[in-house]
Structure 1
Amino acid sequence: MKILVGFSLLICVVICYPSTVLLNTTFNNVNVPDTKVKSEPDKYPLPYILNEKLPGVFVKEDLTKPVDKVKVADSDVKIYIFTQKNNNSGLEIEVANASVAKTPFDPKKPTCFVIHGWNNDRTSTLNHLVKDAILESKDVNVFIVDWSKYADKNYLSAHNAVPGVAKIVAKFVQLLEKSKHLTTDRTFLVGHSLGAHVSGLVGAALNSQLDYIIGLDPAWPLFSSSDTESRLDYTDAKYVQVIHTCAGRLGFPISIGHSDYYPNGGAVQEGCGVQDVTGQFML
C-alpha cells in the first residue's frame, strides 16, 4: 500500500505540475539524465518474456516467433468519459463518430486521455489512480481508453495492435476538434507500458501539437531506441515526461522524453514484482 500511495502522489505531482521538475535536478537522489545518450542495448536483450496468466503462474512467451498483423476495429476500442461530477461511473462514448452530445464533455476545459498497457483494461488500478489524481486537482475531461480486447492477449499480439489503437484514438481526437472544438494545445495524454507508445503515436499523428504526454514505464520488449517512429519519443508532443520504475527490465532503459524521472534509481522498486529465473523483474 505504501508503494501505491507514493506512486499516486508522484502521479499527482507530475500530471498536475508537468514542468515544475526540470532537467538536471535530483529526484530521490537520482540525477535525471539531460541527454539522449544510448547507455543500454538498442533492443530488449532477451528472446522471451514471462506472462503471468494466473497469480504465481507464468507462461514463457517467445518474442522471436512471427505473428500475424493485427487489424484493430473501431468497435473494439472503448472510450469512457469521467469528470468531477461523474468521477465514479464513466460514460461510454461511441468512438466511430465521437458522439459526446449527451455527455458532460466540455470543450472549454482541458482534456486528458488515459491509455492502459498490456494485460490491463479500463478498470485497472493504475487508470483510476491517474484519473483520480487529475480530477482531485483539476476540472478537466478525462477519457479512459480501453483497448483490452487486444491488450489482454500475448505480448506479441498486443504490441502489434499499438499502431492501430493509436490511429483510432487520434481519429477520435480529430473528430472532437471538428465537431466539439476541442483544442490539442489543451489536451494531454497519460499512457502506461504499451499505452505509453500508443500515446506517442497519437501525438505524432496529431503533428506533435498535444500539450504534453506522460509515459509511465514505456514498454521495452520489441521496441528499440533507434526506431523513434514506432514508440514514444520527445518529439511527439510539445512536452514529454517519462517515469521509469522498471527501467532495463520490462520498461524502456533510456531517457526518451524532455524530462525523465527515475524513482529509487528507476530499475527496481522494493516490495514490487517477482523475480524470474533470468534475474529480470516482472512488474
Structure 2
Amino acid sequence: MITSPARPRLAAFSTKSSGPDPANHGQYCVELVKQHDFDAYLCGLLVPRSSRRAYFALRAFNVETALIKDVARGNTLPGQMRMQWWREVISAIYQGKSPAHPVARALCEAVQAHNLTRRWLDRLLEAREGDLGNIQPTRMEELEDYAENTASSLLYLTLEALHVRHPTADHAASHVGRATGIATVLRATKFHAAHQSLYVPLEIQREFKVNVNDILRGPESPEAAQALSDMFFEVATQAHLHMEHAREMLASPPPSSSGPLSRNTITALLPAVRTTMYLKALQKNGFNALDQDLLPRSHLEFQLRLWWANWRGKI
C-alpha cells in the first residue's frame, strides 16, 4: 500500500516555495524547465526540497535533448554532433568530472548526490538521437519502445532522485511513461505533421486509411473525419491501458523484499495527472486529436489536480 501522505499545502505551488538558489546553474535548470515544459515545472514544485535540485536537473537535461531535433530540423548532422557532445558529457560525469555547462553541472551534482543509474540517461539520449531521422514507427510496439526509452527512463531517474528503489514503483513508472509518451505524441500530432514527422504507427494509419493531408489540413469529408477519430482512438486506448496497469500495481503491490512503497512514489509519477486529463478530454471530444481546444488554456485545474493526487497518494 501507499504509505499515508503528508499533506502538502497549496502554497507549495508558489515559485517562492523553493527559496533562492545559491548556485546559478540550479536556477538555470528551473527557468529552462519553466519555459519549455511548464507541466514538469509544476510537478517539480511538489518534489521534496532535498530532491528538487536533482529533479530540475533531470528535467532540464530532458528539455535540452528534446530541443536538439527542433534546432537541427532538416539537417541531422548538427543534431548528431550535439548528441555526441552530450554523450561525452555523460561519460565525463560518471568519471567524476563536471563540464562547464549549467545543465551538465547540475546533472553532475544530481548523479553524485543520488547515485543515479547511467543506463537510463544513455537510453534516453539514444532514443533522442534515433529520433533525428524522422522515421515513422511501423508498429505500436515501436512507439511504446520510444516512450519507454524516453518518458519511462526519465521517471526511473526521478524515482532514484526521490530515494525510491522498489520493483513495483519501477514497473508502475514503465506503464506511466509509456502512457505519457503516447499521449504526448497524440497531443503534438498536428505540430509534428507540419514538420514532416508522424509518430502514429504506420500500420495503424494504413488500417484506418488515413491520409497525411487530412492531418495537416483537416479532414475533407465525414468519412475522413471518422477514420481519423478511429485511428486516434486506437492509439489512445494503448495509453489508457498502460495508465490502468500502473494504477492497479500501485493500489495492490505484490509482496516485495523492498518493503512498502514510499510516499515519494506518487510524487515521482505525477506526470500521470496530465496524461489522464488529456485522455479524458480526448474521449469527451470524440477522439479528435487535431482539436486545438484540447491543449491547456489555463494551468489552474492542473495545479489543483496535482496537489490533490499528491495529497491523497493516488495518480
TM-score band by shorter chain is: 0.3 to 0.5
Q: TM-score w.r.t. structure 2 length?
A: 0.31
TM-score, normalising length: structure 1: 0.33
Structure with bigger strand share is: 1
Structure showing greater relative contact order (alpha-carbon pairs closer than 8 Å, 6 or more residues apart): 2
Which structure shows the bigger proportion of residues in helix conformation? Answer: 2
